[in-house]
Amino acid sequence: MCGSRNRTMKLAAGVLYGFALGLLVVGLRELLTGFEENRCSMTYMFEYPEYRRVALPRRVARQYPAYGLYLYGEGLYAQETRALKLTGAPVLFLPGNAGSYKQARSLGSVALRKAGNMEGGVHFNVFTVDFNEELVALYGGSLRRQTHFLHESIKAVLRLYKHLKTPPQSVVLVGHSMGGVVARALYTLPRFNTSLVNLIITQASPHLAPVLVLDPYLLEFYSAVREKWVNNAHKLVNITVLSVGGGYRDYQVRSGLTSLPCLHGDPNKLSLVATAVPRTWVSTDHLSIVWCKELVLATVRAFFDLVDPETRQFTENPEKKMLVLNHHFIRHPVRTLGDTPDAAAFMLDLSDAWSEVNTLRLAFSTPKEAQVKYFLFALSSRRKAYSHFYCRSDNLEMSSWVYGCRQRSGSSCLQAMDLSMGTELLPPYKVLVLSLSDLSSVSHLVVSASNLNGRQFTVECEWQRQESQTFSLPVPHVLSSGLTVSDFTINSSGLLHTIRLQHFHQVYQAFRISVASQCKAHRDRLPSVFVLRAPWFREDSLTTVTVPSVAEISGMLHTSRPDNTSCALLLLHTAPNCQYKVSVRTSLPRVLGQILRFCFQTVPVYTAVTLLLACGGQMSSILKTRRAADMSLVVGAGLQPHKVNLFVYILHFLLGCGWFQEVWSRLGVPPMDVLPPTTPDVTLSEGVAPAEQWPLPLSPLLYVLGAGVAFWGTALLRLVTRLVSLILAPLHRPSITRDCGTLRRRTQLAVTLCLTVVGWTSCGALSISAAFLLHLYRVLRLQMTERSLSHMLNLVRSRGRSQFDDTPVVKPLTASCPTPQSPAKRRQAENGAVDSQSSGASKERNSAPLLSESALQEVRDDLELHLCLSALFTLPLTLIAPSLIHWIRNLRYATQLDPDPCWPHMVPVIVVYLLLINGNTSQLSNSKLLPLTSRLPLPLAVAAVTFCPLHLYRVTYFLLAVLVPLSMCCLL
């Protein structure tokens, strides 16, 4: 009856966690693959790249032996700069997490090739820093060291220009990933001269918060940088910073984290996504953002426009810097940079060149022959009926094309003001939208359609009434799962339509937006462009399609607008006389992908909570039945959202009350962990982020996903131990007792002392890993013993020896306590026979036979117990793995890890691991501490959910709070 009940429970747990695994796989698939294909063009080197090492002062080289500074070069330029006599403008590239200094080759090669085509001798010297490919996104102990080395590198770079009459006074920094965070951290150094760097461009850098916090040093570093840039913003107002996110292809650093935490309205700080950069319009993954040709070209073009022609160095004028960055990364008006906005334009007074347009729309295609052509639009008759003038042209030359007439002569305009500065560049054409209320000083609009070079293009213009071409479309609820559809049909013949997607302003929302177009007549038309825009952040995503067609747009956001003051917009640049049907439906896979993108930090916390409660369930089973339960059952029962999440909800509610919050702060309890904010204009102070409420209702779902990871992770652990034990079995003598793999007390003490010394003198993670392996060896020996006992008992049953089920069959052969035997007796034991003397000896241990069903059950109980403990031990090992990897990779430079994130808990973890090696179910069931210890997991699970989502390293402390009393149960 009990076996049938257990099988039913296992089946139910398998179905539940199979469903959880399915949800996790669907979400991960959408997160990792549910985006557009990589449309970035590769940058190529025309000659072999060379990296010349720059000599640093002996003090710096001795202090930072793992780091280096290099100058990029190729071909003739590399030969000319061999002596490091430089005359260009310095640019310093900073690699990110595990990044190579050789990633600077794309930026350096494109800058070098473009300089060869430029007049005036302007060029750049691209330097790059070697940070030894350290995992600084996961181990924060090196971030401060990298910042100090960067300071020394900047001073070394500027010393190379001392031979010039007007040497450069500053260096431009280009930082990828964590390199961008290190660049901003320069200003936290007490001796750093802020004039050394006044322009920073970062690529996929998580400025708002770290992606994962596996040690306290990472948070301390971020808090120092954030405090400097927020609290001292008035001192850093002239420092220009541009942050570019990769978009949805970058699943390592979501684009919302690339938003710069600064005071609202800071004019010299820009944050945007690569999909919104003119002439780029592509999403990049975390690595391709470095070599994406479209983005590299935008950066290099901006560099050349930032150079002062007199000094041939980067300008110090912050207004000029922002003008250039806006031109290349935000608006990109198709007009030469530097022209004054109100420059007067003089036009040819040719009667055949002028045509006055009296219709509501103009559609004109230039002939093959070169000609001068102007179209004149009278404003007086349109001001009352219309609010805007819309015009587009697929002539993408950098020239002015729309003017406001100031002086007329007959049917022509002699003098006009240039209005082209507001032009927006789209992939197939340029677009200009003018508000008639801003044109009170002009009487006519002039559109130039001159093709002096004989190139054919099309111009389309129309008068617009904005309120009649703006529509509202409520989006379906996020829980509709695609069963309901919101659609809207546009029958207007206009060229631009705006659809307000009502209630679409949160990052957890995800939709499939379909736009189907059909036209009455089949003829050549300009392509249609659909722009999904978030008014509160520069994250536009563009879709270009031909007409007629059916296009699907991924409706997701990188940032939220929690106050609901605005919603996402869908701008449709349409073809005239065509019908467009817009359909919006919720996409469940994309919703799961968004949830994982923004809340994945909580999944390992809930995994730890599940294993913690499973350990509590195992202790309760031992306390009640004196036997360990099957690990799959206790892990399956670890999903208890009605207990864990309920307490968390109550705590959140109480913290909303002023009196409870005051009591909370007086007790010195740290604030509740919240996920990094999803709003782009949030300023963080004192390391505390404003709480967002939307993740709270999702916590049961995240709990299910975390429990699924725990369930299938433990199943994988069991499978791996079985396979490894099969491999190691021939190397060990067979054992039939539960004491296999244990350590003597003296051995435990000696190993503990040795591992502690090793941890203090080298790396704490190394000692903890060694202790884990010792416990894993205990699990493997129990697995081998369980297999040996099962095999021997089955062998006895198969021979019909059922009457000896409760009698000894063989003399014990244990690895820990071997008994000398004669060859004859050993052969008899191997054949399953035994004499009366050996039978009597076998009954003396624990008043029970060593080869019996009860002995096998004891071994199985111990195996289930230690498998559960091994699953718990795996979590701290995973959290400290980055520091161990960092220590191994830097072993040739230093034998001791400094700082070591494991030092606060290294000794307790080692002691607990070694004490629990000898633990068994009999010891625990007889312990007086077990009733109290079995009650600890639930409150500690609630505390873990409360304090660990942002501080993942705290998980180890909550696990120790259970494991320390449990290890004491083995002694008392």
β-strand pairing of 269-273 with 240-245: parallel
**Closest alpha carbon to 25 in 876, 712, 580, 698:** 712
Contact (CB, 8 A) for 309 and 255: no
Report which residue type is found at 246: G
In angstroms, the CA 621 to CA 610 distance is 16
Residue whose entry in the numeric block shows the structure tokens 């503990």: 752
Strand 541-545 with 578-586, pairing: unpaired
What is d(CA 923, CA 622) in angstroms, rounded to the nearest whole number? 10
Q: Which residue has the tokens 């930026």?
A: 107
How far apart (Å, rounded) are the C-alpha atoms in residues 905 and 818?
A: 38
Pick from 354, 359, 380: which is nearest to 443 by CA?
380
Q: How many CB atoms lie within 10 A of CB 542?
A: 18
- How many beta carbons lie within 10 A of that of residue 331, not counting itself? 13
- Residue 902 CB coordination number (10 Å): 26
Beta pairing class for 68-74 and 124-130? antiparallel
Compute the distance between CA of residue 96 and CA of residue 113 in angstroms, rounded to an integer: 25
Residue type at position 211 = V
Asked about 177 being catalytic, the answer comes back as yes
**Residue 192 CA neighbour count, 13 Å, CB half:** 23
* Tokens standing for residue 580: 């467009």
Spatial CA neighbour of 866 closest among 911, 916, 935 = 916
Question: Which residues fall within 8 angstroms of residue 704, CB to CB, at 6 or more apart?
Answer: 20, 23, 639, 641
Residues contacting residue 99 through CB under 8 Å, at least 6 positions apart: 131, 133, 176, 177, 179
| Residue 930 token pair | 């077990």
| Nearest-5° Cα angle at 209, 95 to 22 | 95
Let me know if 873 is exposed, middle or buried by CB neighbors in 10 A (0-12, 13-18, 19+).
buried
Cβ atoms of residues 614 and 631 within 8 Å = yes
Which listed residue (153, 170, 177, 271) is catalytic?
A: 177
Work out the angle between the directed axes of helices 764-798 and 906-917 (0-180°, nearest 10).
10
Supply 147's token pair: 């910042």
Is residue 514 packed enough to be buried (19+ CB in 10 Å), middle (13-18) or exposed (0-12)?
Answer: middle
Written as six digits, the tokens of 9 are 């429970």
Give residue for tokens 């072999």. 48
| Upstream peptide bond of 168 is cis (omega within 30 degrees of 0) | no
What is the residue type of 570? L
Give the list of residues 6+ apart from residue 878 with CB closer than 8 angstroms, or none: none
Nearest to 710 by CA among 775, 620, 642, 632: 632
Which active-site residues does the annotation give? 177
